[in-house]
Structure 1
Amino acid sequence: MALALAIACAVPASLAPVSISAQNLPNLGDTDREELSPQMERKLGEEIMRDIRRDRDYLDDGPLNEYLNYFGSSLVAIHPEARGEAGYDYNFFAVRDPMLNAFALPGGFIGVHSALILAAQSESELASVLAHEIGHVSQRHIARMIGQQKQDALIPLAAMVMAALAARSSSNASAALMMGGQGYAMQRQLSFSRDAEREADRVGLQILGQAGFDTSGMISFFGRLQNATRAYNDSAPAYLRSHPLTTERIADIQARTRNQPYRQHADTLDFHLIRARTRVLQDLSPQGLRDAGTALENQLQQKNAIQTAAAKYGLAFLALRQGALDRAQTLLQESQASARSSGAAIKTSAYPSLAIDIKLAARQPDEALREAKAARERYPLSRGLVWQYADALIAGNKFDEAITFLRDQAQLYRSEQQLQDLLARAYAAQGKQALQHMALAESYALSGSLLAALDQLGIARRSPDASFYDQAVIDARERELQTRWREESKAGQAGQKGK
């Protein structure tokens, strides 16, 4: 349901046309601004993200998320106006889904389906999708959608969620829901949606141009999606259902790019490595992994250094997933050699991250730790390497060092559930039961599972090694979580009554 709400939130309201060269985008009227404050938008987005992170198809993969955030943040940085009056901190993430789609959540969260990453044939095409979604966020389309819904009164947000949920499996079911009653009001919402899509296109084109990408990437990607519609028979691709694509919209994009100078953007090695990694993550079933292997082997036939490096990287990742560690290590080294021969620079931690995972799987914690230390010096902003470094410390029985490191990290990054999970592992290895369950409680709380967190606090309280200080911390934290649970329960009951 959370993913459906995410998709629904990408569909919203109208605004006056904006020139591609405009620097100052129009402000919203006071009425729309009052409907959903920037602070409430962010809070709503965080609540939805807690649900998405619990979804089994959420891709909690360090190198993939690092690349998306590095790439997406570079687009935002080149166009500071994208942060809007709310000054949003953007967060980009991926979900495993065979449908081509991307979506914007309230408050600056942008999701991309794995199939879309694989379908993008160039970095300019992927940039066009992310820039378009950034346009939705920067123009506060979500707040304005909710504002218009309140004015119409006939279309509760829940109906939009249900329609978006149905659209993931059946466009006919979605159409039936959307035509089930308030036709006039729904028609207004559809027209708002088209205006919002055109506005997001214009903002996206601004970002693409300023970032030095080929603006025709948006046209080529949308054109391929439109052609793909024929292969879907009666069901259009998901991206077209949640982002209505009309001939007028394509014509508008073509008109705005016609006089733009052509810019050839060279794809980064990171882009190809991450696509190869995503191909393996797309389907982890035995058949899915075999299909990924076949596709990567076919990629080797291109006899291009970068394509070879990416294909062998993907095959090394695949070998790791299948437990063929010697093959994984050999392929990784061959991939790195091809990358060096191409002369391409790499800006993310895709290579060292895979090297560390191979060493850990081979039960070589000392070598993994050396790799992790060197990688953290080279990529100090990588959060995935932080978790791998702690993992290597625990695997090497350096529990005190791991706990000290993780507690320091947890103070700096209070919202990272992975740090609490690793802390729980380190405490468990030392037999510190109370601290283990207290860390697990924090992990559950961060994921939004408040009852499970309270259960863990209860276990911690009953642990034989719980000190007086631990008991005091448990009592205080239990009161905080109980208060939060009661508030969320009341909010949920109020929402049910309002339906």
Structure 2
Amino acid sequence: MTCKQILASVLMLLILPFSAARAQSILRDAETEAFLHEVSDPIFIAAGLNPKSVHLYLLHDNSINAFVTGGQNIFIHSGLILAANDVNEFLGVMAHETCHIACGHRVRTADAAGIAGTTSILSMVLGAAAILAGGADAGMGIMMAGQSMAQGQFLAYSRGQESEADLAGAKYLEKAHIPGEGMIAFFEKLRDQEILAQVRQDPYVRSHPLNRTRIMQLQEAVETSPYAGQAPDPVMNEKFNRLKAKLEGYLFEPRRTLRDYPLTDTSASGRYARVYAYHKALEWDAALKEADALIEMEPNNPYFYEIKGQILFENGHVDQSLPVFKKAVALAPKEPLISTALGQAMVSTEDDTLMAQAIPILEDATRQDRGNSFAWFNLAKAYAWVGREADASLATAERFYSAGAPMQAVMHAQRAMQAFDEGTPEWLRAQDILYVSEEAAEKMRKYQEKRRREQDRRRFEGAAFYGSPS
């Protein structure tokens, strides 16, 4: 199968029926993505993997689960992070899942799943529904399979594979100088669910069956580690607690967040949670007060400025948000999500000077993150504003391509090809998008037609049944 055929198949996953009750969305946040790799990369290295080749995706789903799909992709449910008591429990699961990649365990595909189709930058909010791309391929700068996911593509486990993943995970943790008790503690937490009816079990229990023998075997391996009994790394654990606080503040109702993180909690985690809770409750002044307190605690933390900038921007104070976003970008110049937030704010002013200044910022963001369709959207708007219509067409094609909308991608790729000279890099890029999107669009049309015929058939059969004489 060629690269283009693979990518066409990837796009096709976006339109297949969702087997679960609702679509899951991928949560994007610059700080979270940086932390997940910072804390997990030592485990990947211990397993002999290249950390840059392992793609991590955080899903908005309150159930406890993590799973591996084809290639080196690990999907993590937000519920798993919220359920872990400390960073070592989370890393125990990551070590287990890493073996499923490093050990070459078989992956099966069940029902494919479509994910939310709107990519949105999130700086203030942790989890706008988004499609997360893995990176460029074969110099074409096109997305990897992370842009789509199959909800049912879970590891086809066997008892042997699960046991191997336990023991290998313990070895990875030891090589990374991480105590393994966290893995045992988390598995013990889940083991009690095995007595529940399957509908009430978390997906991790169903796809990773636990038993006392496995846990006892794992305990023997963990106890021999020279790092047994050590407490979690305080720096990593603090970052993990902040991540949990941000997730709760974004995902849960403000009343619950403010109960779990009361005003008496003046830690960074407590203030983080309340920033999101107040923002969600439209209490702008309270949210800004907490953001300012965070900045006072850590004046060089780019994510605190990012939060404050987003609060100001979403509250209509765009001019005030600009210097705050610029400070965040200066502190974290290689975070494309933060750069996109600045670019969005500049574009929204519709000021000629700021619009021109936004272009190189958004161009850099899209170079670093090809699947950031929100950055492409704002870049296209800026191009059009300054009269670069051909570039606007290509950026719009990129936007729809990264969002898994092949029909719209075809239209704008054709416009770009007509606007650029044949053989130029821009023309060739538009051609790449056109080739892949045309195939995906045709598959989409065929699938939708098949679905319509099936629905018509069912309606006809239902009408015939209910209309027949008794």
Q: TM-score, normalised by structure 1?
A: 0.67
Identity of aligned residues (%): 22
Q: 420-429 or 273-282, which moves further after superposition?
A: 420-429
Other-structure match for 1:182:
none
Does 2:286 match 1:324?
Answer: no
Other-structure match for 1:209:
174
Q: Secondary structure at the match of 2:75?
A: strand
TM-superposed CA distance for 1:333, in Å, is: 2.8
TM-superposed CA distance for 1:486, in Å, is: 5.4
Alpha carbon RMSD of aligned pairs, Å? 4.1
TM-superposed CA distance for 1:330, in Å, is: 0.9
Equivalent of residue 436 in structure 2, options 484, 487, 494: 484
Other-structure match for 1:277:
246
Deviations 1:280-312 (A, max 9, x none): 333xxxxx424xx324433338x6653xx3122
Other-structure match for 1:333:
292
Q: Which runs of 5+ in 1 are unaligned?
A: 1-35, 146-156, 164-188, 283-287
CA distance in 2, matches of 1:418, 1:100: 29
Distance verdict in 2 for CA 1:384–1:479, change over 3 Å: closer
Other-structure match for 1:73:
41
Whether the 8 Å CA contact 1:319–1:328 is kept in 2: the answer is yes
Q: Secondary structure at the match of 2:58?
A: strand
Equivalent positions of 1:198-237 (< 5 A) are 198-230=163-195, 235-237=200-202
Whether the 8 Å CA contact 1:394–1:402 is kept in 2: the answer is yes
Equivalent positions of 1:255-270 (< 5 A) are 255-260=220-225, 261-265=228-232, 266=234, 267-270=236-239
Equivalent of residue 314 in structure 1, options 257, 261, 273: 273
Other-structure match for 2:322:
369
CA distance in 2, matches of 1:349, 1:457: 36
CA distance in 2, matches of 1:330, 1:381: 27
Distance verdict in 2 for CA 1:312–1:229, change over 3 Å: farther
Other-structure match for 1:436:
392
Whether the 8 Å CA contact 2:92–2:183 is kept in 1: the answer is yes
Deviations 1:407-466 (A, max 9, x none): 3443454444333122123235557665434322111112332222013345778xxxx9
TM-superposed CA distance for 1:239, in Å, is: 0.5
CA distance in 1, matches of 2:428, 2:191: 56
Other-structure match for 2:66:
102
Which one has a larger percent helix, Structure 1 or Structure 2?
1
Amino acid at match of 2:28: D
Distance verdict in 2 for CA 1:48–1:225, change over 3 Å: farther
Amino acid at match of 2:70: P
CA distance in 2, matches of 1:411, 1:370: 23
CA distance in 2, matches of 1:190, 1:114: 19
Whether the 8 Å CA contact 2:67–2:74 is kept in 1: the answer is yes
TM-superposed CA distance for 1:119, in Å, is: 0.4
CA distance in 2, matches of 1:220, 1:127: 11
TM-superposed CA distance for 1:264, in Å, is: 0.9
Whether the 8 Å CA contact 2:26–2:59 is kept in 1: the answer is yes
Amino acid at match of 1:421: F
TM-superposed CA distance for 1:57, in Å, is: 1.9
Whether the 8 Å CA contact 1:276–1:313 is kept in 2: the answer is yes
Whether the 8 Å CA contact 2:155–2:207 is kept in 1: the answer is no
CA distance in 2, matches of 1:224, 1:257: 17
Amino acid at match of 2:61: D
Distance verdict in 2 for CA 1:324–1:434, change over 3 Å: farther
Whether the 8 Å CA contact 2:12–2:440 is kept in 1: the answer is no
CA distance in 2, matches of 1:404, 1:470: 24
The aligned length equals: 394
TM-superposed CA distance for 1:399, in Å, is: 0.6
Other-structure match for 2:343:
390
CA distance in 2, matches of 1:259, 1:234: 37
Amino acid at match of 1:271: F
CA distance in 2, matches of 1:223, 1:111: 22
Whether the 8 Å CA contact 1:45–1:105 is kept in 2: the answer is no
CA distance in 2, matches of 1:324, 1:304: 19
Other-structure match for 1:60:
28
Deviations 1:323-369 (A, max 9, x none): 322111012233455x56xxxx99x7432221221122233444433
CA distance in 2, matches of 1:350, 1:269: 15
Does 2:198 match 1:248?
Answer: no
Whether the 8 Å CA contact 2:65–2:204 is kept in 1: the answer is yes
TM-superposed CA distance for 1:49, in Å, is: 8.8
Distance verdict in 2 for CA 1:46–1:67, change over 3 Å: farther
Distance verdict in 2 for CA 1:245–1:161, change over 3 Å: farther
Distance verdict in 2 for CA 1:487–1:453, change over 3 Å: closer
TM-superposed CA distance for 1:48, in Å, is: 8.9
Distance verdict in 2 for CA 1:289–1:429, change over 3 Å: farther
Amino acid at match of 1:331: E
Does 2:416 match 1:454?
Answer: no
